[in-house]
Amino acid sequence: MSKTLFFLLLAIFFHKTFSKEDPSTFSNYFQIKQKHIEGHFQINFNTSTIISKVKIFFESLMDGELIILDSKSLKINSIIDPDTGLNINYEYDTYYSLPSLGTPLKIYKSYSKGQNISIIINYSTTKEGGATQWLTADMTTGKKYPFMFTQGESILSRELIPIQDTPNAKITISLGITVIKPLRALYSGLYQNYIDNGNSITYFYNQKIPVPSYLIALAAGNIDERIISDRVKVYSEPEMVDSAKNEFSDTEKFIQIGETYTIPYEWGEYNILVLPKSFPYGGMENPTLTFATPSILAGDKSLANVIAHEISHSWSGNLVTMSSWKDFWLNEGFTVFIERKIAEMLIDEDMSKLQAIFGYRAMINDIFNLGESKTFSSLNPYLIGRHPDEAFSEVSYEKGFNFIYRTQNIVNKYANFDLFKLILKKYFSKFKYQAIESKKWKEHLYNCINETFNQSIYNNIIKEIDFDYWVKTPGVPKYKNDFNNSYAADADKYVNDFFDKKYDKSFNGTFSKWHTNKKLYYLLQIHTNEKGVDDEGLKYLGETLNLKEGYNSEINNEFFKIMLDNKKLTYIEELKGFLGKFGRMKFLRPLYRGWGSIDKASAYTCFEDNKYWYHPIAVRLIEMDFKKLK
């Protein structure tokens, strides 16, 4: 093939595949849009598969003869036209298949503009599918029954359902889930009723608010529940359910504070499912059913900000959704902003500033790793030909947060009252149920400012906000917010003692009374100090302050990072214990990388010992991290 022809074909390929708002989907959602899914899932623990039938309802936006859906690792059995009962022709378009995006499923069905049509797909998931983790009984907390759960974000829902897997095509859903007795099935929607089939039960759920495909989530296992308030419950295996109830007892208050900065909670219920230890994230905002890691069951509610974060997604992300992964910061930045408002109201402003300091440090770290001049370190990463998870970093969260926080301060400074809160409330009521780009937020913000101020003040405010700079520029933002606070100031004195080698036993009493975040700040200051930590210092932290085991998971994690970044393997047995305790990627990835950079072989052996119960997403990413190590 000639070079010119090759590049011409390549150009056509990229054009055909990616010339739409969301480059992470193969679907032709701009021609015909999914609106509703009705389905039935049969959970089969013997084969680790789900046998499914879904009826998808579409609205045609133009004439056409083809529906293209996203799919990956699915086995399609038949596609049927519900009007005629006849089979519809379909094929996998393997020519466009990509390991990251899956294989387009072409369905030959014609439609005319404005027409509503539906199709029925009979299919099953396969063992290769990465959307689901199947845990055998020994991988659960109770060790008696198997457990399964799904993860849709970012683009894994196509491994669960053939679907337009783009946040741009929101859907309502009603679903029946059949599971063997005595197990129970949960879904990210409101529970309706059940049918007893003898050996199994079918549970019915509805999600009447249109949601993006990545919020489709289910779980099944030996699941118990406790009530927290009229609209709040916790679910988990029976062994954890009481501690979960205690840990999350403030949830109702979190929601009420969230409502004061946004609009009333629309989802009916807010439930939390604490998963077995392999859950790879801190939390996932599945509507009416937040998924959470058991590593936040600290016993003192000090890690409940993860719940405040997931609740905040009830507005940013779940009601008002980014229209593609490029605007992921719209989901996460606003969510972190609301999360920190909850911390501010529930504890105090200094506590939320303390969290903003951690966030800022983590962001700087990620910016340097991603490259200061690369679009991945901007709020609008260039994603064509890339998997959205590749761009995932603290940038969307913390640069997003810093941008919104600064905008708030500017607007409120000119207004002399909390005008920003009103702007936010209007934003949520105006754009709820929609999927939007950054520029919609910009227009809304500008309009609100314009309505409030005269032309010359308007001009000043817009200039100070510098919207496009924040959204487009990669690297460390040139504007810096002030997060000085009393917790940090007090902890800094003790950090000085540490570096003066005042390894005082009695500090333990003071330290143990501090809030977890203050402890974490103390450790972070030690961690990032260029003086480093010697054997004696590490022993002080590990043994005198006793941070090496049996402590809060975030604190253990920070302790082990200090150890590894100082190139020490002193408490390697304790580290192994920790790596066997939780499958949360936030802990595993940096710890394996740190250990691997000192002794790759032994780190990899530990990974191999645990791999069987780690989540497929975690396994994939840790393998990748090991490959990058020398």
For the annotated catalytic residues, the residue numbers are 310, 397
The interface partner of residue 282, options being Zn ion, ligand BES, none and the CB cut-off 5 to 8 Å by kind, is ligand BES
| CA distance linking residue 287 with residue 206, whole number of Å | 11
Question: Do the strands 184-187 and 218-221 form a parallel or antiparallel pair, or are they unpaired?
Answer: antiparallel
Q: To the nearest whole angstrom, how small is the minimum distance from the Cβ of residue 469 to ligand BES?
A: 25
DSSP 255: H
Distance of closest approach, residue 332 Cβ to Zn ion, in angstroms: 5
**Residue 165 binds ligand BES (CB under 6 A):** no
From the list ligand BES, Zn ion, none, pick the one residue 281 interacts with, judged by a Cβ distance below 5 to 8 Å according to partner type.
Answer: ligand BES
- Among the listed ranges 161-169, 264-272, 277-285, 413-421, the one in contact with ligand BES (CB under 6 A) is 277-285
Site for Zn ion in 273-332 (CB under 5 A): 332
Task: Candidates 184, 313, 340, 615: give the one binding ligand BES (CB under 6 A).
Answer: 313
Going by C-beta distance under 8 Å and a sequence separation of 6 or more, which residues neighbour residue 500?
none
Measured distance CA(175)–CA(480) in Å, rounded? 47
- Under the binding rule (CB under 6 A), the answer on residue 310 touching ligand BES is yes
User: Smallest distance, Å, CB 232 to ligand BES?
Assistant: 18
Mark out the alpha helices in 432-515 (DSSP H runs).
Answer: 438-452, 455-465, 467-472, 486-499, 507-513
Q: Which CB sits closer to ligand BES, 56 or 303?
A: 303
Question: Which listed range, 17-25, 110-118, 225-233, 303-311, lies at the site for ligand BES (CB under 6 A)?
Answer: 303-311
Check binding of 285 to ligand BES (CB under 6 A).
Answer: yes
Contacts to Zn ion from residues 333-372, by CB under 5 A = 335
Beta-bridge partner residues of 124? 51, 75
> 482 Cβ partners below 8 Å, 6+ apart?
none
Among positions 24, 125, 140, 154, the unique one binding ligand BES when judged by CB under 6 A: 154
User: Which ranges constitute the DSSP H helices of 399-437?
Assistant: 400-415, 419-431
User: Which of ligand BES, Zn ion, none does residue 40 bind (CB under 5 to 8 Å by kind)?
Assistant: none
Smallest gap from Cβ 317 to ligand BES, in A, equals 7
Rg (CA), the chain: 25
Handedness of CA 494, 499, 505, 511 (dihedral sign): positive
Q: Which does 465 bind (CB under 5 to 8 A by kind): ligand BES, Zn ion, none?
A: none
Report the residue number, 203 or 428, with the smaller CB distance to Zn ion: 428
Rule CB under 6 A: is residue 614 a binding residue for ligand BES? no
* Residue 332 vs 366, nearer CB to Zn ion: 332
Distance CA 284, CA 8 (A): 42
Contact partner at residue 586 from ligand BES, Zn ion, none, CB < 5 to 8 Å by partner kind:
ligand BES
Contacts of 531 (CB under 8 A, 6+ apart): 499
> Which own/partner contact pairs does 10-18 have at CB distance under 8 Å and 24+ positions apart?
13/96, 14/384, 14/385, 16/96, 17/96, 18/384, 18/385
Helices (H), 19-60: none
* 22 part of the interface to ligand BES, by CB under 6 A: no
Q: Tell me the three state secondary structure of residue 254.
A: helix
Decide: 393 and 428 in contact? Cβ < 8 Å.
no
Buried b (16+ CB within 10 A) or exposed e, 336-347: bbbbbbbbbbbb
The reply on whether position 615 binds ligand BES by CB under 6 A is no
284 binds, among Zn ion, ligand BES, none (CB under 5 to 8 A by kind): ligand BES
C-beta of 351 vs 572, nearer to ligand BES: 351
Query: Mask of contacts with ligand BES, 380-409, x by CB under 6 A?
Result: ------------x-----------------
- The footprint of Zn ion (CB under 5 A) covers 332, 335
- The footprint of ligand BES (CB under 6 A) covers 153-154, 281-285, 305-306, 309-310, 313, 332, 392, 586
